Structure 1
Amino acid sequence: MCNNDLLAPTTPADADFGDFVKDEDEAEDLEEVTEPWTNYEATDNKNIFYPICLGEVLNDRYLVEHKLGFGGGSTVWMAHDLLEKKDVALKVMSSWPWAENEVRMHREIARTVKDAKRLVVALAGFTLPVPVSGTGDRDGNAFEHQVLSLEALESLHAAGIVHRDVSEGNCMWGVTLAHLSRSAKYKELGRPLRERIPHVQHPYKQGELVGAINNPDHLRRNNFHLGDFGLSKKVTDPETQRGYPDLKFCSPERLHKHEPSTACDIWSYMVVFSILYLEFSLFNSLEGNVIGDHVRCLGPLPAEWKGHYTHPGGRDSWYDQSVKPDPKHNLAAKVALRRSDADPVEREHVVAIMAKVLVYDPAKRPTATELLMDLDFRAIMDRYGC
């Protein structure tokens, strides 16, 4: 167990909290699916992760039992609330400024969003021995509930908030574990595999790399949520938090010095939609290549954007108005290739939806409300029982 005078006492040493790696091969396999151990290196690192051990009790209340996942600025843990006797999730944020912005946006959402039931908003927050906060979170995604995540965006946008990081990892379904013992949870979710964080000595305490839970389909609930507000902002905020989503989700105008808007969220939403429907990403996630994919699929970028690309490797050919979409890589071709099992009418609806949203001019994209009422969108949602 991890022991530290700044934390509440841990549970007894003989309590079951999974299995430590047995050998070097098992350790290497674990490190391939966890956050990099360098995230915990304190030297010359502005984005230090807070180390956690299974079996710790945080804030004198939350017993850490398993790992839900991790992102670029946080780890997410399954914990048992010893006070209220219920399972919760703890999002433990790093020292990066995104953490401070996310706390601010959770408060803003609680204050201004009228319908937040489909948003993963913190139930409570607390400060650990270094400036890191804990918030409630969930994980997962499902195509059949995309209508719910779009409704979540609609609620945010109605309050004048841009999410800025809509991705498949931030669209989440609920999981029910009510009244299960820890051993029963491990039977359903897989026993945690763990090892001490290697190679670095955190200045505050020890921690562990822990493999994430499995996600059994039978535990999913029919509620769908949108979370992670580290990059979110009010449209009226005078400054924008630095950062982009994974480039394959990023709208092209954001890569050409345009300020974020609700329209950039709609673009990102459609990329998530396409991944879940096609089981394939429409666009690359590498610098430069993502814009090349945009052009091959959708045609040339607006000529007036030339010279404004924010990343290295821009090409004049992207803005050449004589260039046409590649017929082997346009929307219709991608849908036909990846969903040959779907009937032609369904494929036509999907291509029509994508074509309405994946346009370069943000002003011409439908709003979340308009997309929810769109006849092609409704036809697909009705087919999938949404």
Structure 2
Amino acid sequence: MAITTAPSQDLKADKAADFGDEVKTEEEQSDVEAIAEPWEKYDLNGTPHVFYPLCLGEVLDERYLVEHKIGFGGFSTVWMAHDLKTKTDVALKIFSLGEWGEHETHMQNEILQNVQDTSNLVTCSASFLLPAGSSKSHHRVLVLPLVGPCITSLILDRMSLVTRMSAAKQLLEALERIHKAGIIHRDLNESNCMWGMVPLHNLSRTAKYKVLGRPLKEVIPYVNLWKQGELVQPIEVPQHLYTQKFYLGDFGLSMKLGDLVIQKGYPPMPFCSPDRLHRQGPSFACDMWSYMVIFARLYFGFLPFPDQGQGGEVSSMVRCLGPLPEQWKGLFTHSGALDYCLAAKISKFCPEADQTEQKHMLSIMSKVFTFCPQKRLTATQLLHDPSFKAVMEKYGC
């Protein structure tokens, strides 16, 4: 994977008013609305978890110049900004109204205080508050490092298996570090795992737009806002800007082992462990199941337990791994043979792997893809597992 250093350019070359392009046609408007957050998220009358309306070009906390959009989640929007004090680019995660921002801020502090090595974790360097119109509440903002894209099929198709296996090892090391600090992530999925990105802060804004795409934007429609805001088409990071570094982020559902009050929520269905789907509590073992789904995603290029109609992902698990535990029998039933066991899946979808590698991969996946949480390897155990080490050694990791 090529890594380039952005050439130095004259930052004065920016046009003060140049923060992207307004939509001019219905087609452009449809393009923006198809990929941006739903406008309903800004409606105070429609949701208690309303988003903060924002325009490119605003300066937040008298310091952060908002230059582009990165993306959004269920309870936040994420923006690319230039720190006018340090002259570096950062990501601003702006939370909706509600408890989500305060909880993630708390977990960020737990990580910073208790995790010795945070080099592969997306941790905040600062936080501040934004007003919420007429409401007495506020929006929490986390200042995060600017990193690259998350795992997608398009990205995996362009990456070598060497790069993907390096990411798998780095992710496991990051997970081991938070587990050793007594922290359960609880939302390990492909959207929260990201590659690094070459810094662009020595480029002018005009040059950044040439690399990442000019923002296409429209004023938030249909909603009577207390301040102006925009829907913005997000950045597209070209592959030559990816780095080999791999990160774990988004600690909005994370918890300390033993916490009595637990934030509501689950990972997306394809990444959720079967025990969580059957009303068992969060655990390190749940994280390990989610990790192994990502590991398989990186290795195969697709999810190991796809939704195949009736029964969804759980049905796919049963077809691959066998019957569910006896105590779960009333919650899910499935008849039929193991028509797609792990060994057959590895052999079919990785025919280029020799028999030794296939045996190692079967061993790795079988030790985590087990319905009994107590039998799953921990992150530390998997890092020291002979088969895992053999596969990583083969790919130079």
> Counterpart in 2 of 1:101?
103
Instruction: For residues 297-321 of structure 1, give each alpha carbon's deviation from its aligned partner in whole angstroms, at most 9, with x where no partner exists.
Output: 11111010234x4xxxxx433xx7x
C-alpha displacement of 1:293: 1.2
Counterpart position of 1:374: 385
Matches within 5 A, 1:212-251: 212-251=234-273
Alpha-carbon distance in 1 for matches of 2:354, 2:206: 45
Mapped to 1, the partners of 2:354 and 2:232 lie a distance apart of 43
Whole-angstrom distance in 1 between the partners of 2:345 and 2:43: 42
Structure with more contact order per residue of length (Cα contacts < 8 Å, sep ≥ 6): 2
Deviation of 1:283 after TM superposition, in Å, equals 2.2
Whole-angstrom distance in 2 between the partners of 1:263 and 1:146: 17
Indicate the residue corresponding to 1:3 in structure 2. Answer: none
Question: Using the alignment, how far apart are the partners of 1:18 and 1:67 within structure 2?
Answer: 11
Structure 1 stretches of 5 or more lacking a match? 1-11, 310-314
In structure 1, the partner of 2:376 is 365
Cα distance, 1:362 vs structure 2: 0.8
Q: Tell me which residue corresponds to 1:163.
A: 185
In structure 1, how many angstroms separate the alpha carbons of the residues matched to 2:310 and 2:48? 23
* 1:181 and 2:194 correspond: no
Which of 280, 290, 295 is the equivalent residue of 2:318? 295
Between the aligned partners of 2:310 and 2:338, the Cα distance in structure 1 is: 20
Give the Cα–Cα distance (whole angstroms) in 1 for the partners of residues 212 and 100 of structure 2.
Answer: 30
- 8 Å Cα contact 2:82-2:201 kept in structure 1: no
Deviates more, 1:333-342 or 1:68-77: 333-342
CA contact (8 A) 2:29 2:218 kept: yes
Q: Secondary structure at the match of 2:237?
A: coil
SS in 2 for 1:127: strand
SS in 1 for 2:267: coil
**What is the identity, as a one-letter code, of the residue corresponding to 1:133?**
R
**Post-superposition offset of 1:245:** 0.9
Q: How does 1:19-34 map to 2 (within 5 A)?
A: 19-34=21-36
Could you tell me how far apart the structure 2 residues matched to 1:70 and 1:333 are? 38
Q: Does structure 2 conserve the Cα–Cα contact (< 8 Å) formed by 1:271 and 1:282?
A: yes
Segments ≥4 residues shifted beyond 6 Å: none
Identify the residue that residue 302 of structure 2 maps to in structure 1.
Answer: 280
| Deviation at residue 267 of structure 1 after TM alignment | 0.5
Instruction: For residue 47 of structure 1, report the CA deviation from its aligned partner.
Output: 2.0
Asked if the contact 2:148/2:242 (under 8 Å) is kept, the reply is: no
Matches within 5 A, 1:125-164: 125-130=127-132, 131-135=138-142, 136-137=144-145, 138-141=147-150, 143=164, 144-164=166-186
> Alignment partner for residue 61 of structure 2, among 59, 62, 66?
59
**CA displacement, residues 213-264 of structure 1 (integer Å, 9 cap, x when unaligned):** 1122221223221110110000110121111010110001011111100111
Counterpart in the other structure of 1:84: 86
Q: Say if 2:126 is the partner of 1:121.
A: no
Aligned with 1:276: secondary structure?
helix
Query: Identity rate of aligned residues, in percent?
Result: 51
> How many residues matched?
362
Conservation of the 8 A alpha-carbon contact between 1:118 and 1:226: yes
Does the CA-based 8 Å contact 2:40-2:46 persist in structure 1? Answer: no
1:332 paired with 2:343, answer: yes
Unaligned runs of 5+ in 2: 1-13, 133-137, 151-162
Native 8 Å contact 1:139 1:169 kept in 2: no
Question: Does the 8 Å contact 1:139/1:170 carry over to 2?
Answer: no
Letter in 2 for 1:268: S
Does structure 2 retain, via aligned residues, the 8 Å contact 1:170–1:228?
yes
Identify the range of structure 1 (156-165 vs 277-286) with the bigger mean alpha-carbon deviation: 277-286
For residues 127 and 49 of structure 1, the distance between their equivalents in structure 2, rounded to whole angstroms, comes to 13
Q: Which residue of 1 aligns with 2:135?
A: none
1:287, distance to aligned residue in structure 2 (A): 9.3
Preserved CA contact (<8 Å) 2:87 2:201: no
RMSD over equivalenced CA pairs, Å = 2.0
- Maintained 8 Å contact 1:68/1:139: no
Going from structure 1 to structure 2, the CA distance change for 1:58 and 1:274 (only over 3 Å counts) comes to same
Deviations 1:356-377 (A, max 9, x none): 1111111111111111111221
* TM-score (ref. length: structure 1): 0.88
| Offset from partner CA, 1:111-164 (integer Å, 9 cap, x none) | 211222211111000001122222215342462322111111111000100000
